[in-house]
Amino acid sequence: MNATAPEFTVPRRLTSRGNAKLDKCTEYGFLASGLTLAPHSISKVGTVCQWATKGCKASCLAWFSGRNHTQSVRSALVNRTRYLAADRSAFETQLNREIESHIRAAHKAELRPGFRLNVASDIDWSHIAAQHPNCLFWDYTKSLQRVLYSLGVAELSSYGPWPANYHLTYSFSENATVDDVRQVVAAGGRVAVVFDRLWNPRQSDPYTPLPETWQGMRVVDGDRHDIRLPVDPIAEHNCIVGLRFKGSRDRMQSGIRSGFVVEA
């Protein structure tokens, strides 16, 4: 990200529990919160999604779904991202304070604290997770090397020990290969794949059936909740995390043509 950002105001809050998938986590004993930035380079301060592809930009759930259609929400995401670019130290101080507050709220509610720091971005937050060992963190990333390093099967000279409480799921895209996917799954990891199944919240049952396997690998339903963990009570490992496409049929067809959405 650029060191100099356009004008911004310091937000009252950076994080929120107001996300439909994060809200589902309470059914599994977690109080989950997340940090949502404006995706890829929308904020005009560089990119928060270093490995963004043409397909994922065109289909971006964080920009084209739900309340994120509204200008007020989009403006808030842009402002938050510009704050990060302009004063990362202050941003992280506030973020750490909000994480600690969330942990206290979870304990008060007798739930386990969980956090997703990259709801719409792909930033290395391992140093933040390391500061809160009593909270579980999970994120999606398109960085194959970062995922493999977190699983203990690759080396990255720029990293120290990976925080045991920070779990990554590899995001499949048109720039990934099936061999990449197999490497992550064989190492005990998870790979998120968007299938050509439309999510339709207006239906009584929006969970259109997903394939049971893909390329010979087990598929779990990634839309039932947002907890991507290899630990109880979820214990997801060695699997494909199947996701339904959120958006119009035309946009889904565009995603299929780009290779971002997988036909099953």
**For the chain, what is the mean pLDDT?**
90
Mean pLDDT lowest for which of 36-50, 142-156, 214-228? 36-50
222 touches 140 (CB < 8 A): no
Burial of 12 (0-12, 13-18, 19+ CB in 10 A): exposed
pLDDT score, position 213 = 98
H/E stretch holding 116 reads strand 112-116
214 touches 197 (CB < 8 A): no
34 touches 119 (CB < 8 A): yes
SS3 141: strand
Measured between alpha carbons, how far is 255 from 216 in angstroms, rounded to an integer? 23
Angle at 193 between CA 80 and CA 156, to 5 degrees: 65
How much is the average pLDDT of 66-82? Answer: 81
Could you report the per-residue pLDDT of 130-183, keeping only the tens digit for each?
Answer: 999 999 999 999 999 999 999 999 888 777 889 999 999 999 999 999 999 999
pLDDT band at 21 (very low <50, low <70, confident <90, very high): confident
How much is the average pLDDT of 216-245? Answer: 94
| pTM of the complete model | 0.91
115 touches 96 (CB < 8 A): no
